[in-house]
Amino acid sequence: MGYDELDNMCDPIIDDSERIEKMQFSLEMVTEYLEKRGRFDRHPLRHYSQLEMSFEESTIKSLLYKLHIPTLHTRVTIFGGYTGQFAKCLRNLGMKVIFTDPLEEWVQNAINSGFEAYSYSAGQIPQDIVKRTDLFATFECYPALATEIAIYNVSRFLTSEYGILFGESKNTRDEMDKEEGKLARLKNSFLPYFKVYSIERSYKEKGPLRLYHFSSTASNRKIIAEDVRTMKLLYDAFPSQTCITREDVASLARKASANYEALLHSIGRIVNLYQLHIPLSLCIYFPPNMFRVCSKVFTFDNSLKSALERT
C-alpha cells in the first residue's frame, strides 16, 4: 500500500496537463471497429488491441509469478480499463480489482460485470483508492505514464507495494516502433525513475503478450512518497512560471511543518527526475534550472541552486 504517514498520500492534481483521448476509444468507435474488422481505418488499430488479445489466465498467472506479483487477494486498481478484458482476467485470477476509466460507458460496462468501478482518468484517481491499492495496472494506456507531465501520477502509483503493471501486445509495440522508434518503448521511459529512485524495471512475455513491471523497495517507496508530497506542496504554493528562491523553500517548509533540508533534497530529486525525462536532442531548449509539476513550470534562482548543490 501507499505510505499514509505523509498526509495519507496526496490528492490528485487535476489540471489541463492530462491528455484524455475519448473519441477513438468510445463505444461508438469500438462498435464500428468490430463491424468493420479488416476494413476499419478511422484510427490506428493499436487502439483496439485489448479487443483482439487472448488473455489466457494460465499465461497471465505464469507471467505474474515470474514478476513476483502475487495474485490471491492482491488489491489492483486498473486505470484506462477500457473494454475490460484485462481487468476480468486479473479478477479471475483472484485479484481484488477496482476498475477506472474516463469514459462513462466503459465504467457502466464494468459495473454491469460486477466490478467496483469509477469514472476517473489516471490523474483523477483519489487518495482513498491509492491508499487501498497494492498494484496499479493497465493495458496499453501509454499517455498516463510515458511523459514528463505524468511524473506526479507515476510517482503516486509507484508508492504502492507492487508498483505498476503494464500490459502490451506485440502488434502495438511493432506499430509504435515504426512510428517512434525503439527508444520510445515504455521501459526506456521509466529510466529516469531507475536513475533517481533505483526502481526495478522488468518484463516477461509469452506469445504476443508482454507484461512490464515497475516497482521499488519499501525504503525507496517512502522517498518517492516524500517527493509526491513535495510536488503537491510546490503546485499548491506557487503559480506557474514562478522563479523559486531559497527563502521560498524555507517559508514553505515552515508552513508545511516540513524539515527544510529534507525539502531541499526532495526538490533536488524532482528537478533531476524532470531533467532526465528531456530527450538529449531537446536539452538545449530546456534550461537546467527548470522543472514542472503537471501543468505548472517552475525555475529556481542561484540562491536555491547553491542550496541544492550542497544537499
DSSP 144: G
Residue 270 has φ and ψ, to the nearest 5°, of -65, -45
Q: Cβ distance 125 to 12 under 8 Å?
A: yes
The 10s digit of each residue's pLDDT in 28-71 is 999 999 999 989 999 999 999 999 999 999 999 999 999 999 99
Q: So what's the pLDDT on residue 7?
A: 53
For residue 17, name the pLDDT band (cuts at 50, 70, 90). confident
As a whole-number percent, the residues of the chain with pLDDT over 70 amount to 96
To the nearest whole number, what is the mean pLDDT of the chain?
A: 93
Q: Which three cell numbers stand for residue 38?
A: 479488416
Q: In the predicted model, is pLDDT for residue 3 greater than 60? A: no
Q: So what's the pLDDT on residue 147?
A: 80
* Residue 205 burial (CB count, 10 A): 15
Q: So what's the pLDDT on residue 182?
A: 62
CATH class, domain 23-217, is alpha beta
How many whole angstroms separate alpha carbon 132 and alpha carbon 117? 14
Q: So what's the pLDDT on residue 153?
A: 95
Tell how many helices (H) and how many strands (E) occur in the chain: 14, 10
Lowest mean pLDDT among 8-22, 52-66, 220-234, 292-306: 8-22
Q: So what's the pLDDT on residue 4?
A: 42
Q: Which three cell numbers stand for residue 72?
A: 490471491
> 3-class DSSP state for residue 209?
strand
Q: So what's the pLDDT on residue 183?
A: 57
The 10s digit of each residue's pLDDT in 144-156 is 997 888 999 999 9
How many whole angstroms separate alpha carbon 107 and alpha carbon 216? 30
Q: In the predicted model, is pLDDT for residue 222 greater than 60? A: yes
Q: So what's the pLDDT on residue 9?
A: 56
- Nearest 10 degrees: CA dihedral of 245, 264, 10, 105? 70
How many whole angstroms separate alpha carbon 166 and alpha carbon 157? 12
Q: Which three cell numbers stand for residue 69?
A: 506479483
Taking the chain, what is the end-to-end CA distance rounded to the nearest angstrom?
Answer: 29
* Beta-ladder partners of 200: 215
Ranges of each domain in the chain: 23-217, 220-310
Q: Which three cell numbers stand for residue 70?
A: 502475487
Please choose, from the candidates 195, 194, 148, 196, the residue with its C-alpha nearest in 3D space to the C-alpha of residue 293.
148
Name the more confident of 294 and 2: 294
Q: In the predicted model, is pLDDT for residue 84 greater than 50? A: yes
* Beta-ladder partners of 201: 214
Q: So what's the pLDDT on residue 179?
A: 75
The 10s digit of each residue's pLDDT in 120-143 is 999 999 999 999 999 999 999 998
What's the CA angle centered on 20, arms 14 and 25, to 5 degrees?
Answer: 150
Q: Which three cell numbers stand for residue 117?
A: 468501478
* Residue 240 burial (CB count, 10 A): 13
The 10s digit of each residue's pLDDT in 157-201 is 999 999 999 999 999 988 888 877 665 578 888 999 999 999 999
